[in-house]
Amino acid sequence: SKLCVIGLGYIGLPTAVVFAQNGWEVTGVDINSLAIDELNKGRVHIKENGLEEAVKEVVVEKKFCARMSPVEADVFVIAVPTPHNHDLTANLRYVENAIKSILPVLKLGDTIILESTIPPRTTRDVVAPIIDEAGFKSGDDIYLAHCPERVLPGKILKELYENNRTVGGINSNSTEKAAKVYRSFVQGKILETTAESAEMSKLMENTYRDVNIALANELTKISEGLNIDVLEVISLANEHPRVNVHQPGPGVGGHCLAVDPYFIIEKDPENAKLISNARTINNSMPEFVIDQMKKVVKTSSKIAIFGLAYKGNIDDVRESPAMKIAEQLMTENYNVEAYDPYVKQEQITFKLSSYKNALQNADILLILTEHDEFKCLDWQEIDQLMTTPNVLDTKNCVKNVAEQINYYNFGNLYN
Ligand code: SAJ
């Protein structure tokens, strides 16, 4: 059967590839013409483990091709981004445009699956009416379901196959149809539900994590004031069989955890108090890191930053707290040099530094991302390059620190 994926980003492209690997004739659609040309040559604009090889294979075998506009298909999968507006409400422009773009090729009996993250009720209250206005009866003529993606960047291909999948239709026929589509490759469970429950559960998964990280970050601030080692406290508490305190850090980044909670908040700000506070706490962490750093360095100091991506071993800087810290320090006129082995110059507006240049004559090294490269550092060399070997490890990720280094993490900020 034919399947058309709209949006060839972090989620859409791997999803298209996986369908193509499993018997579907797949067309991928994107507005980025450059990316389209590259993809049809088997080259990939996204860094993700195993993705380029997989794309090459399905292109060569003619199971996948990319183009600028949708073609007739039995199933349409929408995987466009949902950015947020200035007031942090969801901007549904891309989702709406994607749906409108398939209307000219849509025919009776087709299935539309929304994978984009959306506020609760969007499938029924926003998307279904667009289909109905075009003269179809959604649920009867066109099957419509929300099937949120839940894959972890860095492990996307593996998780697409292995994770359980929630499938929520606007009626039971829609749920059935969409579930059948995913059964073609998903090895995990297919959880059948309503569109609303699917939307809300996806948002709640990320909100759960965000709120728990906020709790760890709040505990960090409290413990710092009381001279208590927060990292030890967390590991002790986590020895309890029903406790899982998350890890504190410089804040929460990425396009999911730092964004999704707002999609719940916008629907009921009155009641979403804990969720909203968690966002505020996590957003305050870059400032907390800078305040801690200022205990150790002077205004004339040079600061080396290791890590700009929002988490380890990926190149994504979206909503990254490390970027906020780097930019804030630059605004404050510190001499800042940032190094990240994954991030490329064109992704950011300031100049990326090399490993050595960043460390040269620095007074403090801020470790803001837990890239594997940072876990085992050459302390001898670092000590020689830096003016004063202060290290603030906000991710508690480095190992075997040499004695001559003044090492700080969130557990020993008070030393
Ligand atoms: N972080 C902490 N402390 C922790 C765990 C994470 O500070 O204990 C920070 C990370 O450093 C990072 C941020 O949280 O800045 C988010 O990282 P993450 O690894 O928790 O998640 P994402 O945003 O890369 O991917 C999440 C995943 N959701 C969950 O684990 C519930 C993924 O499964 C989703 O598919 C993805 O969001 C998404 O697309 O929604």
At residue 348, the pLDDT reads 96
Q: For residue range 237-271, what is the model confidence (pLDDT) as tens digits?
A: 999 999 999 999 999 999 899 999 999 999 999 99
Upper half-sphere CA count for residue 31 (Cβ side, 13 Å): 7
Atom of ligand 1 nearest to the CA of 154: 24
Q: Would you state the structure tokens that stand for residue 302, as one six-digit string?
A: 């040079």
Q: Is 147 a catalytic residue?
A: no
Q: Is 256 a catalytic residue?
A: yes
Q: Which of 199, 206, 247, 318 is the pocket-test mutation for ligand 1 (most atoms within 8 Å of CB)?
A: 206
Q: What share of the chain has pLDDT > 70, as a percent?
A: 100
413 CB near ligand 1 (under 6 Å): no
At residue 415, the pLDDT reads 56
220 assigned to some structural domain: no
Instruction: Say yes or no: 189 and 254 in one domain.
Output: no
Q: Which of 49, 118, 152, 368 is the pocket-test mutation for ligand 1 (most atoms within 8 Å of CB)?
A: 152
Q: For residue range 336-348, what is the model confidence (pLDDT) as tens digits?
A: 999 999 999 999 9
The span from the CA of 178 to the CA of 172, in Å, is 10
* Centre of ligand 1 from the C-alpha of residue 56, in Å: 29
252 CB near ligand 1 (under 6 Å): yes
Instruction: Say yes or no: 165 and 233 in one domain.
Output: no
Instruction: Say yes or no: 136 and 283 in one domain.
Output: no
Q: For residue range 285-330, what is the model confidence (pLDDT) as tens digits?
A: 999 999 999 998 877 899 999 999 999 999 999 999 999 999 999 9
- Closest C-alpha to 185, from 37, 56, 316, 58: 58
Q: Whose CA is nearest to atom 28 of ligand 1?
A: 206
At residue 47, the pLDDT reads 83
170 assigned to some structural domain: yes
341 assigned to some structural domain: yes
The span from the CA of 128 to the CA of 119, in Å, is 14
ipTM of this predicted structure: 0.94
**The CATH number of the domain where 415 resides is what?**
3.40.50.720
249 CB near ligand 1 (under 6 Å): yes
User: Residue 414: which pLDDT band, with cuts at 50, 70 and 90?
Assistant: low
Instruction: Say yes or no: 312 and 246 in one domain.
Output: yes
Q: How many CB atoms lie within 10 A of CB 71?
A: 12
221 CB near ligand 1 (under 6 Å): no
Instruction: Say yes or no: 139 and 236 in one domain.
Output: no
At residue 55, the pLDDT reads 97
Residue-number span of the structural domain to which 176 is assigned: 2-201
Tell me the backbone φ, ψ of residue 35, rounded to 5 degrees: -60, -40
At residue 413, the pLDDT reads 87
